[in-house]
Structure 1
Amino acid sequence: MAPAGLGVCNAHDHLFLRSPLLPGQELDDAAAAAAELAAFRTAGGASVIQWTPYGMGRGAAELPRLARESGVRIVAATGLHQAAHYPPEVLERLRSDLAAVFVAELAEGIGDTGVRAGMIKVAGGFHGLDRHARYTMAAAAEAQLATGAAIGVHLELGTGALDVLDLLCGELGVAPDRVVLGHLNRSPDLLVHRTAAEAGAYLAFDGPSRAHHATDWRLPDALAALADAGFADRILLGGDTTTAGARSVNGGPGMPHLLRRHRARLGLALGEDLVTRFLTANPARAFAADWGRSGATATA
């Protein structure tokens, strides 16, 4: 589809997710995913970028039906999260040629589902990059250069952004505008934000505050600082629903929060036109890829 087809886009969220680090909070209920999408659509949403990577219960086979029935476009991901999310035997099995796995899921499909991934998701660590992160990012860079797909990076508590850019862009040759740095709302370091934006990366501010993160009241100032410095075109907004309890259908903020509360609040602080750009024009550029065909981007 054409990039503009994303419309109002939740640039980072999860319909399905499973991890041993979140026992009992799995996102594995297709009916709940459908209800969440319906609520997001009612709130004005048109597309969701699902950052769930390989081996974490992506629900790829369910995505086409959910997209058709909800009217919400869904972009799936390949990639690999931090090592703690996987059994050692899974990581060992992938170690021979991880980049080939990513390329196959981008170019051919995820397993036998027929669903092609539309972005690559990897992860850094807390204020640094361990051996696993460097290995997965090297594979992601190879896959990005082969396909054009964007790389989304989980920053642990919002930290390590500049280390990520040094590796992906400085050492591995990925263009900065192919990198989306996630969770920057969790570390409201305005100097780091500006440095990353000056480098050319996209900055994702994704999800309502949690008790151990920087609170929402600091976000308008961070976004205003970037916009005032000329980097409004680098900003993305998302929801990052990672547990069953956080879904709106279970009483949490869920996907609709981005548009029901977050958008309105930021609009009051920054102006509705600017926030609309964060939700539409910016993700259309950030996730667009040539895929060997003119003017195309990824869908589920």
Structure 2
Amino acid sequence: MYDIRTVTGPLSPAAVRGPALAHEHLALDLRRDADRAAVLGAAHADAVTRELAVLHEEYGLALVVELTCRGMGRDVAALARIAKDSGVPVVAATGWYYEPFHPSEVGGADVEELAGTLVREITEGIGPERVLPGVIGEVGSHGDRPSVPEVRTLTAAARAAVATGLSVATHAQLGRGGPAQLALLTAEGLPAHRICVGHQDLLDDPVVHRELAERGAYVAFDTVGKESYQSDTTRLRLLLALLEAGHADRALLSCDVSRHGYLRDEGGQGYGHLFRSFLPRLRAAGVDDDTVDLLTRRNPLRFLTGARTEEVT
């Protein structure tokens, strides 16, 4: 099984004995005129570090998959500092978010040029620090079908994944468009088990979730605690439906902290809401500890490494 690429070096999956957060942001900048709070910058790094250190101590948090990519204010040097200071390994990402956040480099580039950009980052590293990304994501689209530029960036992500062996995590805006994303990515030869379709807990449609899982993709319930988008009660119902349909091995969980107001220091639910609130509710609904371990540790490791079920214990 492949090692996991983290911002501080390779990590054996066997060394990850605690839970992972499968979709988070530790350093990003998505500020636009209408939304000036979508930022986690230098002023917030200490608070982020403290939260991760506490979760490592209290819940054994063993890995964070950080899905801030090109055009989202990615800062791999900050990620390396946070990982070292908190004691929690962090996976960095490459790719392009959905169209409203595409940088100018996307505009005039064809698919091959875009794929080449990703392959270079994956093989040579990001920035002067030469940090090697460990995942392609969160590559995005909005609506039921990707826009023309999003088709190019998603296709480039798939081709880079096929060329390098990395897996792909998507951003499906408000949960929509997952089946179209999966069809596009797999059409490029990327196996479905190396694809995670994002934000499905924002889509109240268990049929779509089962369809994605049956085709072999991971289904991300990754905005846990974002009650302004969807209640955790609905998330719990949707996740239980997926588990009851026999797809516990296809779900990933996280909180997608994406603005400083979500931090505990600022009164938000923080990165630990999954452990403090949602998992206790999941257990109270009858889900056993082995399934919780599958959802929070084994599934993320399998996704990142492209492993099959029996290869991660």
Q: State the alpha-carbon separation in 2 of the partners of residues 84 and 182 from structure 1.
A: 17
Match of 2:57 in 1: 42
For structure 1, the residue ranges without an aligned partner over 5 or more in a row are: 296-300
Q: How far apart, in 1, do the equivalents of 2:56 and 2:225 lie?
A: 23
TM-score under structure 1 length normalisation: 0.90
Equivalence for 1:298 = none
Q: Which of 254, 262, 287 in structure 1 is aligned with 2:278?
A: 262
- Equivalent of 1:9 in 10, 17, 20: 20
Task: After the TM superposition, list the runs of 4 or more consecutive aligned residues in structure 1 that deviate by more than 6 angstroms.
Answer: none
Deviation of 1:94 (Å): 5.6
> 8 Å contact 2:27–2:79 — kept in the other structure?
no
Separation in 1 of the partners of 2:204 and 2:289?
A: 22
User: Does the 8 A contact of 1:20 with 1:85 survive in 2?
Assistant: no
Residues 31 and 38, structure 2, Cα contact 8 Å, conserved in 1 = no
Verify: 1:118 aligned to 2:134, yes or no.
yes
Q: Does 1:156 align with 2:166?
A: no
Distance 2:58 2:273 in 1: 9
Bigger drift between 254-263 and 39-48 goes to 39-48
Between the aligned partners of 1:23 and 1:167, the Cα distance in structure 2 is 33
Which amino acid counterpart does residue 46 of structure 2 have in structure 1? A
For residue 124 of structure 2, what is the aligned residue in structure 1? 108
Corresponding residue to 2:299 among 267, 278, 282: 282
What is residue 184 of structure 1 aligned with on the other side? Answer: 200
1:225 correspondence with 2:236: no
1:168/1:43 CA distance change after superposition, 3 Å? same
Structure 1 contact 54–79 (Cα < 8 Å) conserved: yes
Q: Distance in 2 between matches of 1:117 and 1:35?
A: 24
SS in 2 for 1:48: strand
Q: CA 1:68/1:20 → structure 2, altered by over 3 Å: closer, same or farther?
A: closer
Separation in 2 of the partners of 1:266 and 1:128?
32
Q: Which amino acid aligns with 2:113?
A: D
The amino acid that maps onto 1:2 is S
Pair 1:253-2:266 in alignment = no
Look up the equivalent residue of 2:28 and give its one-letter code.
L
Structure 2 match to 1:73 = 89
Question: What's the counterpart of residue 5 of structure 2?
Answer: none
1:27 is aligned with what amino acid? L
User: Deviation at 1:190?
Assistant: 0.6
* Matched-pair contact (CA < 8 Å) for 1:151–1:179: yes
Identity of counterpart residues, as a percentage?
A: 36
Whole-Å separation in 2 of the counterparts to 1:66 and 1:214: 29
Q: Distance in 2 between matches of 1:19 and 1:230?
A: 37
Letter in 2 for 1:91: V
Q: Distance in 2 between matches of 1:4 and 1:201?
A: 23
Instruction: Tell me the distance in 2 between the aligned counterparts of 1:50 and 1:278.
Output: 18
CA contact (8 A) 1:178 1:286 kept: yes
Q: 1:43·1:256 contact (CA, 8 Å) conserved in 2?
A: no
SS in 1 for 2:136: strand
Q: How high is the TM-score relative to the length of structure 2? A: 0.87
Instruction: Write the letter of the residue equivalent to 1:20.
Output: R
2:145 aligned to which of 128, 131, 134: 128
In structure 2, the residue corresponding to 1:56 is in which secondary structure? Answer: coil
Corresponding residue SS for 2:153: helix
* Secondary structure of residue in 1 paired with 2:197: strand
Maintained 8 Å contact 1:155/1:183 = yes
Higher relative contact order (CA 8 A, sep 6+): 1
More displaced stretch, 261-270 vs 172-181: 261-270
Structure 2: segments with no counterpart, 5+ residues: 1-10
Matched pairs, number:
290
Structure 2 residue aligned with 1:23: 36
Residue 278 of structure 1: CA displacement? 0.2
